[in-house]
Amino acid sequence: MIILTDNNNVLIAIGDEVINDANEVGVVWINGAGYGLDGQQIHELENVPEYIVAYKYKYVDGAFILNEEYTDPSQDFYELQKKVSEQDAIIEELEQIEEKEKQKTLEEEIDELKQLVADLASLQLGV
């Protein structure tokens, strides 16, 4: 098996063979994807345990270790969805507050108009 690591020893790709690009120096192809990273290293191994996945592990001194900077993309997506839902709720609450403020302003204007009508009526009646 072939593994490709970046300059921080993070596992980038796992495959059965590596193909050097005929047109671009430093670019290799593994499983149909091209890689041309600065400091990339290709390692040939007997086998790679099934639980090893790209980006989650590093390959350091012949051993796979967890990448301490790895974040699970599905967890990131869940957290993002949660934040968007929270923001949507805040926007809805702000819109409701704005609507209430508009309602108060309209009610105040109606009260002022009623008072003006009453004042006009009292002037016309001479009260």
pLDDT of 127 higher than 70: no
Task: Report which of residues 16 and 126 the model is more confident about.
Answer: 16
Residues 59 and 91 in one domain: no
Residues 57 and 107 in one domain: no
- Portion of the chain with pLDDT greater than 90, in percent: 33
What residues contact 60, with CB distance under 8 A and at least 6 apart?
9
Mean pLDDT score, 2-20: 89
| Domain span including residue 26 | 2-66
What tens digit of pLDDT does each residue of 70-80 get?
Answer: 987 777 788 88
**Separation CA 9–CA 40 (nearest Å):** 8
Residues 57 and 95 in one domain: no
Mean pLDDT score, 47-66: 92
Residues 90 and 51 in one domain: no
Q: What is the dihedral of CA 51, 57, 59, 65, to 10 degrees?
A: -90
Residues 31 and 55 in one domain: yes
For the record, the structure tokens of 83 come out as 């934040």
Residues 124 and 89 in one domain: yes
Into how many domains does the chain fold? 2
User: Which of 46, 8, 44, 14 lies closest to 30, judged by CA?
Assistant: 14
pLDDT of 95 higher than 90: yes
